[in-house]
Structure 1
Amino acid sequence: MISRPAARRTTPRTLAVLLALGATLLPTAPAPAIAVPPPAPASERELVPGVAPGHGQPWQVDTPDQQLAPTVYQPTPGEDAVEPRHAPAGAYAPIEYVPLGEAAARVACSRQAGPYQRQVERWLKLRVDGRQSAADCGAIRAFQKKHGIKPAIGFAGPVTWAHMQLISARKNPNAAGKCPVRTHKVACVDLGRQLTWVQQGRKVVFGPVPVRSGRAGYRTRSGWHRIYWRHKNHVSTLYGTPMPYSQFFSGGQAFHASYGSVFSTVGSHGCVNLRLGDARRLWGVLKKRDWVYVWGRRPGS
């Protein structure tokens, strides 16, 4: 007679294994959402600095700026007597943002149309079709080499276009008449071209210089403002980051120096960032109660 197999006993060890297996099959609760900053413009999301940064410089610099009105107090004479620390060597080097693949391959001449292809073609008086050609690349490379923009691979990126806009604005930044002319000083902030200058009447007394304004979700507020508080060695009360030569004009939004490139594809948290030398000169031009006029819109914001 064939006997039936004996029933298997469930040992504590077997039970533990089965419970562990069941736990892995159970649906898990979704991870909590993590707040992330708004993305860069679609045309710039895959762009990276084409040259390794200098010593101590990160690939992407986005100095967190103050969003809320600071606790206004009178800096001691000693505080504003001390000059802010110098920027690291190479902090403001004109490093172009290029496609990741071309940066890795170290191409000599880009075959891709950049996010500012048409604008750059028009500025260089090339055929404006928005397509990269060998002639386009050669002309863009020549401009980049002349102005020290690296890598000079002919890619029509944001740094190349920013330099062209600055060059065009040097003779008369207010040629379009967008910044109101007054007998008193007016600090003009052109968000569309990412430029700032100061004019008194029709005379430009400072700039134009490149700036970085607020990104999407943190736009620099447009319209008329007045400088209401200045602090040469201010530190953000929200982020604990340095804001050299701060001149506040709208709540927590201020002119101040940044220790990283103002040409980055990501904007600030609302402030108008300048290179250290430009912020130092602007500090000597403006004073409390001077007027500021902001208009336009930062590309991609």
Structure 2
Amino acid sequence: MGIAARARAALATVAVAALLVTGCTPSRTASPGATAEPTATASALSPSPSPSASAPTPSPTPTGATPSPRPTAGPAILERGDSGQQVRDLQARLKQIGWFSGSVTGYYGDATVTAVKGFQTKRGLPVTGAVDQTTQDRLRAMTHTPTAAELADSSSGRGTSTAGLDPRCLTGRAICISKSTRKLVWVVDGQPQLRMDVRFGSELTPTREGSFQVEWKSRDWVSTLYHTPMPYSMFFSGGQAVHYSSDFAARGYNGSSHGCVNVRDYNGIATLYSQVRVGDKVIVYR
């Protein structure tokens, strides 16, 4: 081998040694005016993971505010089986806004549980039938402090007082109806037998006032004008009657009749119907 050949071999050996030391790959030189190819990134060169190996795609986060947690009931202040003045106060307040239709007895029984559940459902409170602090606060904000008369109420029971009754009611057999007190009293020979809450017609369809008598009765009557049930109807003035109203039982004094005298105590009106005869007096007064 000549001197020139040995020199070229030595240079090639040095170049290969240099490449092995650095571990680099020689860059491709671009021709003048040509665009160099971009160097691929490691992520692009790596194989894509299979669907089974990929992490689950998280559900999109809904926009807007996080929903408020559902309210939970607090400790019971009053509940089924309790009795006393606080229960009387509760019943009287529920009665003011049409949720309780029975007598104010001071005993927390089934009727009171049902009334409290209805009130709680309407206001979006936890429906337990027991009174917690939130339920009590909401009820008190909507009602006034019960009067002595409201706390002593016996609206669907027997009572002996004739105070406030029209004198026409005190003889014979009379359904005595007061618009001012919104009470019906069934009186026989001057002795009150039953007392019930009632409501009347609106200004457009007022309940007529005066002295009438029961003209006819129907236990399962349905209105021919409004096509609504009128159980235990006792007609006293044309199409106007005393009868049970499920709407009155549900909505209280938030509604009105089309002129009839509505009763919301189902058991009370059933008892009254069984005792009243055609020809008995009906006295409607203020």
TM-score (norm: length of structure 2): 0.49
Higher relative contact order (CA 8 A, sep 6+): 1
Larger Rg: 2
TM-score (norm: length of structure 1): 0.46
